[in-house]
Chains A and B, each alone.
Chain A
């Protein structure tokens, strides 16, 4: 009898220990980078012009914003439209729907280096877009597509059928119902997904290094090469010369990602509160 309780107690201790470890790792990681990195933040790190001396993050930051905007411009409409098709326009147990779902699941499991290879082969060489923001953004658009599709699908499904029936009852067509009733009600869920996708884009390296290239300046057009903040961070940390700048850049990147995550969480929570 006592032995059994002892076993239970050990298991319980292990469970608590593991949860503790998970939380500690996160705090250690964030804490260490912030504490070590914040003292290295300097004005020259944020100067508008990049030089080999200052290793400014500003051009990379601007590139990241452009990259994010272009990828979203492609992925968001396609993702939302396909989710609309899956939820609003096709019945259950549809062969086509199953196929789309299978492919999005496949896309979701593909590691970013494979996307990078594909982007390089298809966009950079075959379509001759060269190492450019556009090549990078289109590669990322495919990468975040499944994320946007899935979150939109879930958001659309959570809109009660009552809304749709009410809208039809008032004489609205299907399209009007979708755009005027269903989409607005699902907006917070969709937005939370989009913000999550932004987080993915901001942190991405492997898919960009051979599609967007590593130029340290803001290119004059979308067809020019430019490094994002994450690539900048990678290049800095692999060169022993710029360790202080690498610390500081890690802080910028980490704060950015934590902020994006918190914002997504905030919106998602607003959604659940609003519905209940």
Chain B
């Protein structure tokens, strides 16, 4: 009897220690990133680092504004492509989808989420880049197909599953009575969905969009493979661009000293962006919870 009681309480602490693990992981990640990145930012100078427009480590110039702008442009482009299609697809899955198609379509979106980013990147390289190149030729725009536009297109596809998943559950969380009430007042099904259900689910839908933003800004390999990676502020959407994530992957292999630390500092800036995005997703989800 005594023995089993000891085991019971010992195991309880084993479980507790396991639960502490994820807290420890977050603390460690924050500590190591900030401790290794912030000294570099201090050495370069906050303003010079964040708002400097020249990235030339060999000349001791470490301005990451082109990369911040690049990440923001590509993310915005991905949202432009991905959000309308994502939201409308989730509307289809919630309100229009015949039962027989639902399961395959749901599996399809899950598969879309499971495809590795290198495979997306490869697809972008062999299909999207040549297609955009041809388009540029026709429109008489100079470019090689590696551009903000191409990367936005691909990222728009890549964030579809996250947006669809979150939006669908937000739409399903809206009480059935809203739907019936609106139909009863004589509104068409479409009017009901777009004027009643979607506004009621708005914070959940927005959480899905913000989640998509997080995915897009953090995506690395696929972007490296198709965005061109020129570290300069782009002048058109058909120009190549380098994101913060790409900057880290491309140069970390051979960087040393301050150059290396400045790459880690780029990671810190990205991390801060991600933390802000995470916080807004959490806030939006909480809001959605209150409504439902």
| Residue numbers in A under 8 Å from B271 (CB-CB) | 110, 114
Whether A110 and B108, one on each chain, are in contact in the complex, defined by CB atoms closer than 8 angstroms, is no
Assess whether A174 is interfacial by the CB under 8 Å rule. Answer: yes
Whether B18 and A260, one on each chain, are in contact in the complex, defined by CB atoms closer than 8 angstroms, is no
Q: Choose from A25, A149, A257 the contact partner of B116 (Cβ within 8 Å).
A: A257
| Residue numbers in B under 8 Å from A257 (CB-CB) | 114-116, 119
Interface string of B84-120 (1 = CB under 8 A from A): 1111110111011100000001011111101111111
Whether B15 and A22, one on each chain, are in contact in the complex, defined by CB atoms closer than 8 angstroms, is no
Which one of B47-55, B219-227, B234-242 contacts A?
B219-227
Whether B88 and A12, one on each chain, are in contact in the complex, defined by CB atoms closer than 8 angstroms, is no
Given contacts A22-B89, A82-B22, A261-B114, contact A117 B33 (CB under 8 A): yes
Whether B26 and A107, one on each chain, are in contact in the complex, defined by CB atoms closer than 8 angstroms, is yes
Given contacts A22-B109, A109-B277, A237-B225, contact A209 B249 (CB under 8 A): yes
Q: Choose from B14, B105, B214, B264 the contact partner of A117 (Cβ within 8 Å).
A: B264
| Residue numbers in A under 8 Å from B214 (CB-CB) | 109, 111
Whether A203 and B116, one on each chain, are in contact in the complex, defined by CB atoms closer than 8 angstroms, is yes
Whether B18 and A16, one on each chain, are in contact in the complex, defined by CB atoms closer than 8 angstroms, is no
Assess whether B123 is interfacial by the CB under 8 Å rule. Answer: yes
CA of A100 to CA of B89, assembled, Å: 33
| Residue numbers in B under 8 Å from A25 (CB-CB) | 112, 157, 160
CA of A126 to CA of B225, assembled, Å: 30
A71 to chain B, nearest CB (A): 14
B136 to chain A, nearest CB (A): 21
| Residue numbers in A under 8 Å from B123 (CB-CB) | 29, 32-33
CA of A254 to CA of B15, assembled, Å: 37
Interface string of B196-214 (1 = CB under 8 A from A): 0000000000000001001
Interface string of B4-46 (1 = CB under 8 A from A): 1001100110111111111101101100110010000000000
Assess whether A8 is interfacial by the CB under 8 Å rule. Answer: yes
CA of A109 to CA of B190, assembled, Å: 34
Given contacts A113-B220, A122-B28, A173-B8, contact A21 B85 (CB under 8 A): yes
CA of A175 to CA of B120, assembled, Å: 45
Whether B116 and A111, one on each chain, are in contact in the complex, defined by CB atoms closer than 8 angstroms, is no
| Residue numbers in A under 8 Å from B16 (CB-CB) | 85, 89
- How many A residues, CB 8 Å from partner? 87
- The 3 tightest CB contacts between A and B, nearest first, are A111-B218, A203-B116, A81-B18
Q: List residues of A whose CB falls within 8 A of some B CB.
A: 4-5, 7-9, 11-12, 14-19, 21-23, 25-26, 28-29, 32-33, 36, 77-82, 84-86, 88-89, 96, 99-100, 102-107, 109-115, 117-118, 120-122, 126, 142, 145-146, 149, 173-175, 196, 199, 202-206, 209-210, 230, 233-234, 237-238, 246-247, 250, 253-254, 257-258, 260-261, 265
Give 23 pairs: A residue, B residue, CB < 8 Å, sorted on A. A8-B188, A8-B189, A15-B88, A15-B92, A15-B95, A15-B96, A19-B97, A21-B89, A22-B89, A26-B111, A33-B122, A81-B18, A81-B19, A82-B15, A82-B21, A96-B19, A107-B25, A109-B274, A109-B281, A175-B8, A234-B118, A260-B114, A261-B114
Q: List residues of B whose CB falls within 8 A of some A CB.
A: 4, 7-8, 11-12, 14-23, 25-26, 28-29, 32-33, 36, 84-89, 91-93, 95-97, 105, 107-112, 114-123, 125-127, 157, 160, 164, 188-191, 193-194, 211, 214-215, 217-221, 225, 245, 248-249, 252-253, 264, 267, 270-271, 274-275, 277-278, 281-282
